[in-house]
Structure formats: C-alpha cells, structure tokens
Structure 1
Amino acid sequence: MILFTAVALGTFILMEGITWCTHKYVMHGFGWYLHEDHHQPGYPHVFEKNDAFFVVFAVPSMTLFYFGIRPELNYLFFIGLGILMYGIAYFLIHDVLIHRRFNWFKNTQNRYLRGLRKAHKIHHKHLGKHDGECFGMLVVPLKYFKKPTWK
C-alpha cells in the first residue's frame, strides 16, 4: 500500500510539470481558441470555453480508474487518483482562490496562497497568447512570496 500511495503522490507532483507544459504550449499555443476567453477581463459567463480543459484532464483519470480496478486493484488506479487529487487542488486554487468563481477563502492571509494569487495575476496581465509568464499553478517563482517592502 505504501507503493500505491507513493504512486499517487508522485503523480500529483508530476502533474504540476504536465500542467505547466500544457498551459504554456497547448493553452497558449494551438489550444488558444479554448483558453482565450479566460484571459479576457470581465468575461460575463459562468462557464468559459477554457473549462473544456477540465475534461481533457478528467478523461485520462477516469480511464485509469477503470483499468486500475480490472481485473484487480493495480497501480493505474493510483495514477488516476493522483490526477484527480491534482484536479481538486487546481479547482480550489485556480477557480476558487485565484479567480473567485466561488466566495470561499476570500480573506486568506496565508503567504503561500497570496503568492500563488499574485503570480497568476501577473500571468493574466498579458491578454494575448504570447509574452506570458508564470504558467505553473502550485509552484511559482519565489519572488511572489516575498512581502513587499515599502520605503
């Protein structure tokens, strides 16, 4: 069981790199059509075309769950679990904390969470698909976690 837990946690960690690459090269590349509305300020709809990327990541997870219990529980299930755990973290950080699609965690003073939000705001200052920065979700440059110094 320790091995299966390590597989799930390793997958969760690996998903940050996969997400970074997907965000930079797919969402800001050939998938810009689906991601573009996410970079438009004041987009008035509850759902965005960008939400289709949740399905892109959910399908492999569900497929791995299916094959991970046939004929008996195996490592594929735990890879799918790692993807699911990352998806839940992504939803809570990206949609809830950063973009405030739900009014939870509204007044957090946690330095790490504030740094994540700050880095993502820097990412969104670029309205086009080029010249982006801060493509990660849970791992962003340390400079965003430093307290501002006022003179």
Structure 2
Amino acid sequence: MPNQQKKIIFCVAGVLSFVCALGVVTALGTPLWVKATILCKTGALLVNASGKELDKFTGEMQYGLFHGEGVRQCGLGDRPFQFSIFPDLLKAIPVSVHVNIILFSIILIVLTMVGAAFFMYNAFGKPFESLHGPLGLYLLSFISGLPSKDGV
C-alpha cells in the first residue's frame, strides 16, 4: 500500500474511534436515556382491566445513571414522581447492573481513546522506531511481564 493511502486509512480509523468515544460520553451525559413503560398491576388486576381500560393503568418512566422521573397511572389519573440513585433507583435496578454499566462504559471510553491514539501514531509517526532503544526495551519488558491465560 502506498504511504499516503496508509495515512488516510489510519486517520479515518482514528477519527472513527474518537467519534465512538465521544458517542459513549454523550450517552452517559444524557440525563434520561432509558425509557420504559410501567404497569400498575394491582389496580389492573383489581378491576380486571383489558384493552383500552389498560391504558389507564400504564405509566411511563425515564432514567439515566443517577436519576429519573416518570408518570404513574393506577386508574386515578397521572401521578408524577422523581427518583435518584440513592436509595430509590437501587430498588428498581440491581446495584451490579448499575456498576457494570458505569464500569464498562469507562472501559469503552478508555479503549477507544487508546485505539484513536494508536491509529494517529501509526498515521503520522514511525512506530517501528519506537521499538528500538529504551522505549522498546520498556515496552517489550512490560509485554513479557503480563500474566498469561494460564496464570503463569
């Protein structure tokens, strides 16, 4: 492949990787990004609601990582409510799910930024030169010191 074509491919890949990281940050920064429909089971079972009557017992809820809001309908009209992560959201969403979303989102952001950095370095730098000298020695020592799948 010609040198100019490599630079273009690596630049495009780096920009796409950076846009992915920005997309994750934007999704996490959006306050209400999960939408749900909730049903007031008790009220619906009490009057044996079905069809159009069931709409009187169906509410909506929106939440993000740290707070949410919604409208509850149990046949008596709209009742708006708000909740935050402590302690209300933890009753609705298990803590492990919440922590995993945050953890994997952070990992995704870090990995896409590292990928963007490598793509840009390959496009504009000379990666083969970094393996010579002390930096290459440190890099190879670090890679050889990583534990393997077997734990050895």
| TM-score, normalization by structure 1 | 0.23
Between Structure 1 and Structure 2, the one with more strand by share is 2
Higher Cα Rg: structure 1 or 2?
2
